[in-house]
Structure 1
Amino acid sequence: MREKRGTARVLLECSLNDKMCLVQGEQYAVVIVPTLLVGAFLVLLAVILWLFIRGQRSQRQRPRLQGVASMPVSRGQTRKAAEPTGKVVMPLTETSVESFLRATTPSLAKLQVPRDQVSEVLEQIHKGSCGNIYRTTMITGDPPKPKSVVLKALKEPAGLQEVQYFMGRIQFHQYLGKHQNLVHLEGCCTERLPLYMLLEDVAQGNLLSFLWTCRRDVMTMDGLLYDLTEKQVYHIGKQVLLALEFLQDKQLFHGDVAARNILIQKDLTAKLCGLGLAYEVHAQGAFSATRTVPLKWLAPERLLLRTAGFKGDIWSFGILLYEMVTLGAPPYPEVPPTSILQYLQRGKIMQRPSSCTHTMYNIMKSCWRWSEDSRPSPEELCSRIEAAAKTADDKAVLQVPELVVPELYAAVAGISVESLSYCYSIL
């Protein structure tokens, strides 16, 4: 009996000791595990801070130019490593508008026009994002004679950023030079505020307004014929292609080819304008977040937010041909603007208009190939258009009986009514 009792006491004591050991182990775990977690967190935080500080130091040590960003270069599009006269470079050291103008104006010396040679009589024709746009006259030539010009004035008060952008646009025109199918710069006044940019005046207006007027029963107005034939469509189209080819040679693309961005003269000379997108990509490497282009004119790669390139302009050129042959109808009239990508992804394109020949429609379809590499170059399109123009009808006038209602057009085209009000005005 004593042995059994002794055995029981020993087992009881061992059991109690085991519980005590277990409790003590749990207490150690409660203290040690959180301590390890906090330590690991502090180590991780220290590593993150070290990496951040190292990155900041490397960025400060790397030279950068304000307004120039890395550009995703598309296939077939390269940018030269050094272009001493082509880039729009804004100095970082300038801290005021006055000092900035003193630093940049000398490079524009050949373009400066004395302000007393610009008439104070201004006819406002548009309210732009940078300021008002006027028609006026300036004295030029020898002997001096007045010349009609379009004056873009930078709105006031203007901060350093607005002045830099406006001066950059002038420098961009200087870099482009002159081409018979681009609206060219006549001069500027930038030695002090207010800043002026003087552009060629194509008084007849934009092509879209011209096409709408062709729908009316009007033979002539101010010496300009308001009839359009198939052959004349090819004539205007070829001039636009020459302008696009010129831009491509300078490693630029337009980005918004449309009838609203083409000005027309009395002899049906076409002038491509609306180079804001081309400037932004040239100066900054990308479009600004606020820059929008109507969806129905965009190539699929642009709708998919891929890198923009030359062949996107070719797609838009096909839309331009559609606009001309329909005398200014909105593209994809049966498709809501927000559904255009899904429409194209299903392999659909616009049907041939009744006023469009099969030859012209085949040219359009070649522009609307989904693959960029499958679309023709401006040079190839020029050759096809020249060949088609030889047999094109130059007698039958394109006719569309319905007049355009701007509000309805804007809704179908997916653009604002206000943007339609900008023409140099021929209506």
Structure 2
Amino acid sequence: GLTRMLLECSLSDKLCVVQEKQYEVIIIPALLVGTFLILLGVILWLFIREQRSQQQQRPGLQGKAQTGGPNWEAAECGGNVVVPLRETSVESFLQATTPALAKLQVPREQLSGVLEEIHNGSCGTIYRAKMNTGDPAKTKTVILKALKEQAELHEVRDFIGQIQFYQYLGKHKNLVQLEGCCTERLPLYMVLEDMAQGDLLSFLWTCRRDVMTMDGLLYDLTEKQVYHIGKQVLLGLEFLQEKHLFHGDIAARNVLLQGDLTAKLCGLGLAYEVHAQGAISSTRTIPLKWLAPERLLLRPASIRGDVWSFGILLYEMVTLGAPPYPEVPPTSILQHLQRRKIMKRPSSCTHTMYSIMKCCWRWSEDSRPSPRELHLRLEAASRTADDKAVLQVPELVVPELYAAVAGIQAESLSYNYSVL
């Protein structure tokens, strides 16, 4: 077209020359701008795709404080089974999975005598029951988690997935143990060991009362016993770390006690989700005041986040169950931590224990000690810890007030046993 235009003009006609230069001025910049816009679009597309992939690995945090209540409620429904299966009906699914769980099967006739109903949720009920061992003198109480009889296939898969997760973990003295299961037909049962003394938070609140013993359990707590319980929690965390897992919700409400103050971790729902799905469900929420800064910033969780929460657990124990950051609203906790503020030393806390708390609360997760290093520090501190002076807090706890300050639901405090 440009050649034709030049042929129609005379050599003395300057207009043709000007037009030729105008084409050069317009076309080349247009090509450059178009190339730039294409590259910018590709970069934005890659950025958005990366953000979406990271979002799938982030815990679901909302502006208001979320419940950390009964952890079985958070993990009862939904989720994926550890080993993907193709069966399309509940019956065929159970037929395919029951042989793999043969060693865990408990005859239903051995589960008799329900003692109490602990929790009744939308996906099933949790009971305390008796289990016959074949010897009348050795009948023991267990926790029976029952899936509702009209369960959908995805609920059955998730329930079996939880059992398989316990099977994968194996036994550890500081984790709540799976005693067996009944999965050959509906209703499905998961049988777990009973920790009759309940959760650590309720124990700490009872220690505030003028009670010396109850059912053979001492309700006086010393500094040395705080270290004793803390070391057992760390052993449980070390075990999870060896399995390339983390807990994700270390708190007094997720530690169960036996009569000899043996501590066992429960509330393993986050560990199960990471094992089964490779990421934390976006619907799962954790009380904000126990979360490490990187978790509040929606970064991927790790065992170092559990170390931060362990420092909060020490604070809970030394204050006999006080809520963390009592002067800070749950929704303002991130801004509080971003100003590099941490909790002050409680009057009942020694400088040695407070220094351990502070090393757990270092902003950078890489600068925090590992569970193993923290265990060694507690071991050293316990050698000189006071084992005579009893920790005392005169005020009794008002559950509704505690829940508001801690950022959890008050009704969740009525439960003293949680699984997954």
Which bin holds the TM-score, normalised by the shorter protein?
0.7 to 0.9
SS of the residue corresponding to residue 186 of structure 1 reads: strand
| Aligned match of 1:89 | 83
1:156 to 146, 149, 170: 149
Is 1:398–2:391 an aligned residue pair?
yes
What does residue range 377-396 of structure 1 map to in structure 2 within 5 Å? 377-396=370-389
| Aligned match of 1:265 | 258
Is 1:222–2:226 an aligned residue pair?
no
Instruction: Give per-residue Cα distances to partners, 1:263-312, cap 9 Å, x unaligned.
Output: 01111000110101110111011122221110000000100000111100
For 1:130, give the aligned amino acid. Answer: C
CA distance in 1, matches of 2:389, 2:335: 37
What does residue range 23-422 of structure 1 map to in structure 2 within 5 Å? 88-91=82-85, 93-128=86-121, 130-140=123-133, 145-422=138-415
For 1:291, give the aligned amino acid. Answer: R
CA distance in 2, matches of 1:325, 1:311: 22
SS of the residue corresponding to residue 119 of structure 1 reads: strand
SS of the residue corresponding to residue 139 of structure 2 reads: strand
SS of the residue corresponding to residue 271 of structure 1 reads: strand
CA distance in 2, matches of 1:367, 1:122: 41
CA distance in 1, matches of 2:120, 2:278: 27
Instruction: Give per-residue Cα distances to partners, 1:352-373, cap 9 Å, x unaligned.
Output: 0000000000000000001010
The CA RMSD over aligned residues, in Å, is 1.7
Instruction: Give per-residue Cα distances to partners, 1:113-132, cap 9 Å, x unaligned.
Output: 01011104341012345321
Aligned residues of 2:118 and 2:415 also touching (Cα < 8 A): yes
Instruction: Give per-residue Cα distances to partners, 1:305-332, cap 9 Å, x unaligned.
Output: 0011110000000000000000000000
| Aligned match of 2:17 | none
For 2:271, give the aligned amino acid. Answer: A
Aligned residues of 1:70 and 1:285 also touching (Cα < 8 A): no
Instruction: Give per-residue Cα distances to partners, 1:160-181, cap 9 Å, x unaligned.
Output: 0000000000000000011001
CA distance in 2, matches of 1:163, 1:96: 10
CA distance in 2, matches of 1:361, 1:128: 40
For 1:218, give the aligned amino acid. Answer: V
CA distance in 2, matches of 1:262, 1:130: 24
Query: Percent identity of the aligned residues?
Result: 81
Aligned length: 342
CA distance in 1, matches of 2:136, 2:410: 44
> Larger relative CO (CA 8 A, sep 6+): 1 or 2?
2
SS of the residue corresponding to residue 343 of structure 1 reads: helix
CA distance in 2, matches of 1:129, 1:294: 22
Aligned residues of 1:90 and 1:164 also touching (Cα < 8 A): no
Aligned residues of 2:126 and 2:145 also touching (Cα < 8 A): yes
Aligned residues of 1:258 and 1:320 also touching (Cα < 8 A): yes
Q: Given the two structures, how large is their TM-score scaled by the length of structure 1?
A: 0.78
List alignment gaps of at least 5 residues for structure 2.
1-54, 59-80
CA distance in 1, matches of 2:361, 2:114: 46
CA distance in 1, matches of 2:56, 2:218: 47
CA distance in 2, matches of 1:207, 1:183: 14
Bigger radius of gyration: 1
Aligned residues of 2:307 and 2:360 also touching (Cα < 8 A): yes
Aligned residues of 2:56 and 2:282 also touching (Cα < 8 A): no
Q: Given the two structures, how large is their TM-score scaled by the length of structure 2?
A: 0.79
